[in-house]
A = this chain, B = another copy of it.
Amino acid sequence: MHERIHHRAFTDRLMSAEQAAEFIKPGMTVAMSGFTGAGYPKSVPGALAAQMERQHAAGKDFKINVLTGASTAPELDGVLAKAEGMNLRLPYMSDPELRRRINDGNMEYMDIHLSHVAQHAWFGFYGKIDVAIVEVVGVTAEGDLIPSSSVGNNKTWLEMADKIIIEVNSQQSAAMEGMHDIYYGTALPPHRKPIDLTTVRDRIGQQYMDVDVNKIVAVVETDAPDRLSPFAPVDETSEKIADHLLTFLDSEIRAGRLSEKLLPLQSGVGNIANAVLAGLSRGGYKGLTAYTEVIQDGMLELIKDGTIEFASATSFSLSSEGIEEFNRNVDHYRKRILLRAQEISNHPEIIRRLGCIALNGMIEADIYGNVNSTNVLGSHVMNGIGGSGDFARNGYLSVFMSPSTAKGGKISGIVPMASHVDHTEHDTMILITEQGLADLRGHSPKQRAQIVIDNCAHPEYRPMLQDYFDRACKESYGKHTPHLLGEALSWHERFRQTGDMRPAN
């Protein structure tokens, strides 16, 4: 029993999830582990939600503020959302129940650059953190914590919280021990020093997380898998987008601007990201590196076949096959993967120094290259900005990718004016749809508009965009960024009214 817990102070505080959840009171701010559906607490949130529901049934209020690393899973965001148990949630999220409540206007959500979260917590911008709930793989004989399948903000939560609840999850592979790099050199200004990380493989911290045992109020044993992230099959559209990117990278190598090892890749998750990774493998690349947030199945494959030589991230996001493959060849992966805190995986200082190639999806871009990553029709949040801003602003290249249309052609991914701006014209370099690639580097707004219309717009929307742009160039108040303000958002408004961005006739 307790073979994952080798320290008395922890075994002494073993209890049920229900008992642990009792430490959480209405109005508290609770910081939890979890990033991209990995390493989140599996049982205390559910027990907490049950208590909330009992209180609500008794006519009492019971809501908390929830801080995490990024997205979690139904066992955390889902149950707390269903229990109407959150006042405020930050930062990234992807749970459908949670998203619905946010967009119904029933709870508050703060969308923050992932690199900002830990430091803003330290700055005191989110107030006091009452309780931290952190999943770990195990506890060493010295009382150190072996981090789980994500690091996220755990170091910060453990340091800042008044009380700590530890979940020890025996389903998490014990073989992960030693694959984490927890940096303890951060500080508040004016005491900050340079972070001495100059390659993706540099170890700058320690394997384990420190914890003050006096703050630990509960230890709960769990035995449940992470939210599995099934590998999305590559569809034709994604493959075309990936092909445009790979052709572009080849041309950058030929032009002498990139070496054959490229620069450290940051890659999102999902169909397009998988297609890009598969394409890199097919393209014969070898010895690449990744400095990114998430290691998904596709990246594991590339690490296995040598396309990627080393990957730094803050989280895994694997399917059940991916987890099996990881466990089968863990000795291979152990030498080629490091998981770091997200304040390091997403740190502007490091991303700019390494010169990352930032590859991110988007909801829409406008003709001038302003990108909307978060709010459908300017108001309905999808998942949040995540780390896309950290990488797009600071990387060597900022690439944003999307199909040129959605909902069977009823929505154009290229619009006259973005209905919400997460990445400004100052931060976007390359836009890609299945139609083609727009290289915006070195171009003024009007030049950008013509390139985006010609290369990225769907043929059905291209004449509409050209018409808008041509008339804007004639009639706009200023002709630096020509716009017809009475029309700029009319496509979105039309979709809202008719369900289609295209006019009726």
A residues contacting B by CB (< 8 A) are 88, 102-105, 108-113, 116, 120, 123-127, 188-190, 192-196, 198-199, 255-257, 263-264, 348-349, 352-355, 370, 375-381, 385, 389, 393-394, 396, 417, 419-427, 441-444, 446-447, 472-473, 476-483, 485-486, 488-490, 492-493, 496
Contacts and interface: CB of A to CB of B under 8 A. Distances in A.
Contact of A353 (B192, B370, B422): B192
Given A349-B349, A420-B481, A194 B189 contact: no
B355 A189 contact: yes
Given A111-B426, A389-B426, A421-B424, A478 B354 contact: no
A349 B355 contact: no
Copies in the complex: 2
List the 10 closest A-B pairs by CB distance, nearest first. A380-B478, A189-B355, A105-B479, A108-B444, A194-B194, A421-B421, A379-B478, A381-B480, A349-B349, A125-B441
Nearest to A473: B105
A493 B194 CA distance: 48
A19 to B, nearest CB: 31
Contacts of A492: 485
A447 B105 contact: no
Given A349-B349, A393-B393, A378 B425 contact: no
Given A193-B353, A485-B496, A486-B490, 19 more contacts: A102-B480, A108-B443, A120-B441, A123-B257, A125-B442, A188-B355, A190-B354, A192-B352, A194-B194, A194-B198, A378-B477, A378-B483, A379-B481, A379-B483, A380-B477, A389-B426, A419-B483, A419-B485, A477-B496
Given A421-B421, A426-B422, A441-B125, A354 B192 contact: yes
Given A189-B263, A421-B424, A480-B379, A442 B126 contact: yes
